[in-house]
């Protein structure tokens, strides 16, 4: 399992929830690429545990299973954010 640091464009709603819209990361060729999140499932706030891909999370960690459109193909990625640090990571493992 490899975590990759990414930029994420999100929508913040007045009730406090966050919706991810786009992911931007460096591709295999070293170019910055953006991917639209087609759909997602919010898996946040489920207590402290280790996710199936081996990531330790707590109740504050934002976790999303996202389907992104990657060059015409849909791909599942796991998106993580630890709010105090404002860093986003993906795991595709």
Q: How far is the C-alpha of 45 from the C-alpha of 63, rounded, in Å?
A: 8
Alpha carbon 26 to chain centroid, angstroms: 15
Asked whether the whole model's pTM tops 0.75, one would answer yes
Other Cβ atoms closer than 10 A to 73: 7
Dump pLDDT digits (tens) for 7-31.
999 999 999 889 999 999 987 788 9
Residue 38: per-residue pLDDT: 96
Dump pLDDT digits (tens) for 43-65.
998 999 999 888 999 999 999 99
Residue 93: per-residue pLDDT: 60
| Domain ranges within the chain, ordered by starting residue | 3-91
Distances (CA, A) of 57 to 34, 46, 54: 26, 9, 9
Beta bridge partners of 41: 65
Check residues 69 and 82 and name the one with the higher pLDDT.
69
């Amino acid at each position: 399992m490899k975590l990759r640091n990414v930029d994420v464009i999100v929508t913040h709603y007045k009730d406090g929830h966050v919706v991810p819209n786009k992911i931007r990361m460096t591709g295999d060729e070293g170019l910055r690429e953006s991917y639209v999140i087609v759909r997602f499932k919010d898996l946040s706030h489920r207590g402290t545990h280790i996710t199936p891909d081996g990531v330790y999370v707590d109740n504050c960690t934002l976790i999303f299973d996202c389907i992104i459109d990657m060059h015409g193909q849909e791909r599942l990625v796991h998106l993580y954010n630890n709010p105090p640090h404002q860093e986003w990571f993906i795991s595709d493992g």
